[in-house]
């Protein structure tokens, strides 16, 4: 499992940032740099590529592309990192992994102190899962970086407003070159998305019944969390409902809720107001 690291590798305070289902660790470039700058450099930010994505290896058995496997990988990472103070930022799938890790991290000697759940909770709306399933595993080929960026935007406009430069910066690390195509007298690179298409296999086996069973287990995990918790929600999110978000403020760790207008699933934590909200929560004084 590859990871991207920012700041001081010897800092006692580590923030682990984990991405969503089809994304990779470079999604947090802007947030990581903002956190390190705000902390005066005395911080380590670690952004893994979950297995099957980015620079990490692909699994021989695609049925391993599920939350329990991911959580076990993260516990192994924490054992290697040995942070003194640990915070967790998880977007969508990364938040689900974080909920499980919060229940288990003390077993490796490093409990999660503060948790940011970015547009995810124990109840995942079935309609959102169906929407994601329509594009999952369909990752190219693309004739150019811009063509790929445009294709990703067509399924990701719910991320909210981004400048062309911001979207290109989020898109480029999502691509891997898979060949060359001849265009007249020129050879042009051919790209595909930087994840294993087989992650769609276990996802595609989900049913409303299995989702309901998973929901009960996730509520158990959420209610057991002792970390201070910030819940970030896109006000137009189709994956995390307003009702679920309000429940999360009333039970378990009683998350503090911050919503961003004009954004669906999921905030990219690139906009200034979004990075400020997360940085203020993670870097404010107190235990």
Which domains, and CATH codes, for the chain? 3-137+204-283 (3.40.50.1820), 140-194 (no CATH)
pLDDT tens-digit series, residues 34-74? 999 999 999 999 999 999 999 999 999 999 999 999 999 99
Specify the pLDDT at position 286. 75
In this structure, are residues 157 and 131 in contact, taking their beta carbons and an 8 Å threshold? no
pTM of the model: 0.94
Specify the pLDDT at position 105. 85
Strands 186-193 and 175-183: antiparallel
Q: What six digits make up the tokens of 36?
A: 């390190």
Q: What six digits make up the tokens of 250?
A: 């009333």
Residue closest to 282 by CA, chosen among 121, 124, 148, 114: 114
Strands 85-91 and 13-18: parallel
Specify the pLDDT at position 135. 84
- Kind and range of the H or E run holding 234: strand 228-234
Specify the pLDDT at position 250. 98
Rounded to whole angstroms, how far apart are CA atoms 17 and 8?
16
Residue numbers of the chain with a pLDDT score lower than 70: 181-187, 287
In this structure, are residues 44 and 6 in contact, taking their beta carbons and an 8 Å threshold? yes
Helix residue ranges per DSSP H, 49-199 = 67-81, 93-104, 126-135, 145-156, 164-171
> Phi and psi dihedrals of 83, rounded to 5?
-70, 155
| Helix orientation angle between 126-135 and 208-223, rounded to the nearest 10 degrees | 110
Specify the pLDDT at position 186. 56
First to last CA, the chain: 30
Specify the pLDDT at position 287. 64
* Angle 15-20-26 from CA coordinates, rounded to 5°: 60
């Amino acid at each position: 499992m590859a990871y991207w690291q920012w700041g001081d590798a010897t800092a006692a305070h580590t923030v682990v940032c984990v991405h969503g289902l089809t994304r990779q660790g470079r999604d947090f470039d802007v947030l990581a740099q903002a956190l390190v700058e705000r902390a005066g450099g005395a911080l380590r930010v670690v952004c893994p590529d979950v297995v099957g994505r980015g620079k990490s290896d692909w699994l021989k058995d695609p049925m391993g592309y599920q939350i329990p496997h991911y959580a076990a990988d993260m516990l192994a990472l924490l054992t290697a990192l040995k942070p003194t103070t640990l915070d967790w930022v998880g977007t969508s799938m990364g938040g689900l992994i974080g909920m499980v890790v919060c229940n288990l991290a003390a077993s490796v000697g490093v409990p999660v102190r503060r948790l940011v759940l970015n547009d995810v909770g124990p109840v995942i709306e079935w309609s959102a899962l169906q929407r994601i399933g329509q594009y999952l595993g369909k990752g190219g080929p693309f004739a150019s970086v811009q063509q790929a960026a445009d294709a990703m935007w067509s399924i990701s406009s719910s991320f909210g407003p981004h400048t062309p430069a911001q979207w290109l910066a989020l898109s480029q690390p999502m691509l891997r070159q898979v060949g060359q195509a001849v265009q007249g007298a020129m050879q042009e690179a051919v790209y595909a998305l930087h994840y294993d298409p087989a992650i769609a296999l276990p996802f595609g086996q989900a049913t409303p019944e299995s989702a309901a069973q998973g929901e009960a287990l996730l509520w158990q995990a959420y209610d057991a969390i002792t970390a201070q918790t910030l819940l970030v929600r896109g006000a137009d999110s189709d994956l995390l409902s307003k009702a679920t978000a309000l429940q999360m403020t009333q039970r378990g760790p009683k998350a503090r809720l911050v919503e961003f207008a004009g954004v669906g699933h999921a905030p990219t934590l690139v906009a200034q107001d979004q990075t400020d909200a997360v940085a203020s929560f993670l870097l404010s004084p107190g235990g």
